[in-house]
Structure 1
Amino acid sequence: MKVVSIVGARPQFIKLAPICRAMERAKDAILHLIVHTGQHYDYEMSQVFFDELGLKAPDYHLGVGSGTHGYQTGEMLKRIEEVLVREKPDLVMVYGDTNTTLAGALASSKLHIPVAHVEAGLRSFNRKMPEEINRVLTDHVSDFLFCPTQNAVENLRREGFTGILNGGKLLPLDCNPSDFPHHSPLVVNTGDVMYDALLLYAELAEKRARILEKLDLKPKAYALATIHRAENTDNPERLGAILEGLERIAREGLPVLLPLHPRTQKRLRETGLHPKDVRVLEPVSYLDMLILEKNARVILTDSGGVQKEAFFFQVPCVTLREETEWVETVEAGWNTLVGCDAERIVQVALEAREGEESIWPYGDGRAGERVVLTIIYL
């Protein structure tokens, strides 16, 4: 079986790593090719992840780069289609909720190549978010929907998907998935591949990363912030209010670190906004980010992945949005939604407390194995 994984952005490289590991163990049954669209292209946002995570070099690098949603998605569609026509894969795998995800799914479905969506079923229920459009459309053209949580399965059930394997429970690893009654499109609860990745690389990060020493940081003595969503960066009022909140937290005596996403950096130049009293950093590697997250007193972010990693490390999280697709983190009390209200950002961050013990919703760290098990047997 020939399988093509299509990736292009930092979170997708992380999700790809556990899949690659599982694919390697099944190499007698699967030929796995990687297509990198080039959505993220700086070293700090792209190649460093392949280097750190031990991923093989992409078989194709399409070099699309940045641009408007329409331009970027259109260029990806065109270039992905050329690769798929040449390679004629049996299955295409897409990851997450970026323009790369949607372009890969559309190109494949129009060529009648089955599509597998890793991290399917997530919903913020905010159609103003480009990521929400990408998620919904990708799910509805996919043949395999690999869900990270039971809640994601239920979202798909409410949208009319009925081919739910094992009743939506976590797929047993000792099973043959073809023994379960099913039909296409197939919905499978695999657990979360990002949790797989954290378990794979957290120990390596402890051994290799020296970011705390480099920045002269003490554990639990700083706040870590990330801002990159278009809804925040493309709205000067929202961005200004968030920066005001971060500045006030720093002035209250809790240092704030802000690794700056290229989109945010560009918007700051365009708007003339400059974070004061906030320690601005270049983008950091995955291993460095894990160490910064694990040792933060509180994390402030608009990133879905960072929200989850905060939960994995049991660090209180303040989400700079009005809604989240990772509702489990909010229900457990580890994550608080504050939007862009500066007053609330400061209050919640400075008063952040640990959440409650709850049922672990993200699987057992073997999601990648379940994905590969399913595609081999089905």
Structure 2
Amino acid sequence: MSVPVVHLVVGTRPEAIKMAPLAIELRRAGLLRPVLVATGQHPAMVGQALAAFGYVPDAVCRLERASGEQAELVAQLAPKLDTVLARGSAAVVAQGDTTSALVGGLVAFWRRLPLVHLEAGLRSGDLAAPFPEEANRRLLGVLADLHLAPTRRAVRALLAEGVPAERIMLVGNTVVDAALRVAAGARPPRDPRLVEVDREVGAGRARLMLVTAHRRESWGPPLDRILAAVDAIVRARGDVRCVLPAHPNPAVREQVERALAGTPRTVVTDPLPYPELCYQLARAALVLSDSGGIQEEAPSFGVPVLVLREVTERMEAVQAGWARLVGSDTDRLVAEALGVLDGATRRPAAGNPFGDGRAGARGAQAIAALLGLAPAPELFEPDRPVMSTAS
């Protein structure tokens, strides 16, 4: 008998990172054959992210994008993805809340294929923030046959929307699996500037502050305020070294380099490959970020995060004490950062509320159970998370 195929739809770097642990566990179990489908939304970044796990896409949707608009992406991707799924599929997995995930869910629904939503149930309650992701994930919540929820908060959100409890599985977040796996094998950086930072941090002569500000909501004036705070923090504490992987958008990169041109002990880089980002994260004393993924990854390494957003759908990190929601106000950012660096802000004793490194295995078994090939998995217990020993 042939092994049933499950299509895993990935369009962006975060999707690839969070889908890889599921692909690993599906292949390990052997009950289903995972097929990684790259949608062409961010092809280079997807390829780079999958390479960190030793994977390449099994199928590629080649798009000819000109405007970069959402309508163009949907119009081109839907028929190409439909062609891939028409070859035969037992189920489709869409991760998170991107346009690729939404199109994957819609095409699966149109073909009457079982749809699995990985990282289901995140909600900000505001359709404008994050935009358009909040709408995308709510729509996927309507379409999905199986909701792989990362946290109890996500489970409660799905139940409040009327999703039957038997269609929800609390598995944890696969990004924790990914970060722990990659960080364990990550090598020191090769960029001479980062080598110098790493040497200083490793010798205990410096503390690393990692900064990522990639979301469109942060561009323009908010980013100016964030960069002003970065400059003030570094100048206020002489042992702080800052690493800032900049967004590849030329205008954003120029804005970053202009604002930090005179800032001492600060390195602006291209976007870092995932293993290098995990390496930096594991060694950081503090992170300033608007990234959802970093909010989920940092607690595994015991690193506090100042969230550069007004709202977050990952309140578990805030409630556990690992993250503080500070927005982009310069004065508040500086005050909060210095509070963490000076020890005035108490760090939690518990581990990561988002996962224990076994979400991929639970998710793989839950999909097999959906298709009648295995019993349901044991669920994630957020009260007993695990913290990495990486340093």
Common fold: TM-score over 0.5: yes
Match of 1:158 among 156, 160, 175: 160
Which stretch shifts more, 61-70 or 96-105? Answer: 61-70
Deviation at 1:289, TM superposition (A): 0.6
Structure 2 counterpart of 1:168: none
Matched, 1:324 2:312: yes
Q: In structure 2, do the counterparts of structure 1 residues 273 and 108 end up closer, same or farther at CA, with 3 Å as the change threshold?
A: farther
Q: What corresponds to 1:75 in structure 2? A: 76
Cα shift readout 1:321-376 (whole Å, capped 9, x = no counterpart) = 01111111101111111111011111111211452224753343211111111221
Counterpart AA for 1:73? V
Aligned match for 1:187, one of 158, 163, 168 = 168
The offset of 1:320, in angstroms, is 0.4
Distance of 2:62 and 2:300 partners within structure 1 = 33
Q: Of the candidates 163, 185, 188, which is equivalent to residue 209 of structure 1?
A: 188
Which position in structure 2 is the counterpart of 1:172? Answer: none
1:232 aligns with 2:224: no
In 2, Cα distance between equivalents of 1:224 and 1:199:
18
Q: Which letter maps to 1:122?
A: L
| Gap change, CA 1:262 and 1:146, over 3 Å in 2 | same
1:275/1:359 Cα in 2 relative to 1: closer, same or farther (>3 Å)?
A: closer
Structure 2 counterpart of 1:267, one-letter code:
V
Give the CA deviation at 1:101. 1.1
Measured at CA, do residues 34 and 366 of structure 1 come closer, stay the same or move farther in structure 2, by a change above 3 Å? Answer: same
Shift of 1:159: 1.2
SS in 2 for 1:255: strand
The answer on 1:245 being equivalent to 2:229 is: yes
Is this contact kept in 1: 2:316–2:354, CA < 8 A? no
Counterparts in 2 of 1:253-332, with a 5 A limit?
Answer: 253=238, 254-263=240-249, 265-269=250-254, 274-276=259-261, 277=263, 278-332=266-320
Q: Equivalent residues in 2 for 1:121-160 (5 A)?
A: 121-128=121-128, 129=130, 130-160=132-162
Q: Which residue of structure 2 lines up, in the alignment, with residue 30 of structure 1?
A: 32
Answering whether residue 324 of structure 2 is matched by residue 336 of structure 1, we say yes
Q: Distance in 2 between matches of 1:224 and 1:364?
A: 23
CA distance in 1, matches of 2:168, 2:251: 39
CA distance in 2, matches of 1:17, 1:24: 11
Summarize the Cα distance change of 1:366–1:340 in structure 2 as closer, same or farther, 3 Å threshold: same
Are positions 1:356 and 2:335 aligned together?
no
CA–CA distance in structure 1, aligned partners of residues 142 and 221 of structure 2: 35
Q: Distance in 2 between matches of 1:61 and 1:69?
A: 16
Using the size of structure 2 for normalisation, the TM-score is: 0.83
Matched-pair contact (CA < 8 Å) for 1:321–1:340: yes
Question: Superposition pairs for residues 161-180 of structure 1, below 5 Å?
Answer: 161=163, 163-164=164-165
Q: Is the 8 A contact 1:64 1:76 kept in 2?
A: no
Change (3 A) 1:21 1:268: closer
**In structure 1, distance between residues paired with 2:64 and 2:40:** 5
Aligned residue identity for 1:209: P
1:241-268 per-position Cα deviation (integer Å, ceiling 9, x unaligned): 12222222222233321101224x4435
- In the superposition, relative to structure 1, how do residues 308 and 64 fare at CA in structure 2: closer, same or farther (>3 Å)? farther
Question: Which runs of 5 or more structure 1 residues have no equivalent in the other structure?
Answer: 165-181
Among 197, 200, 208, the alignment partner of 2:181 is 200
Q: How many residue pairs end up in the alignment?
A: 348
Question: Which residue of 1 is the match for residue 374 of structure 2?
Answer: none
- Judging changes above 3 Å, is the alpha-carbon distance between structure 1 residues 18 and 259 closer, same or farther for their aligned structure 2 residues? same
Q: Matches of 2:190 and 2:161 in 1, distance apart?
A: 44
Percent same amino acid at aligned positions? Answer: 34
- CA contact under 8 A between 1:240 and 1:273: conserved in structure 2? no
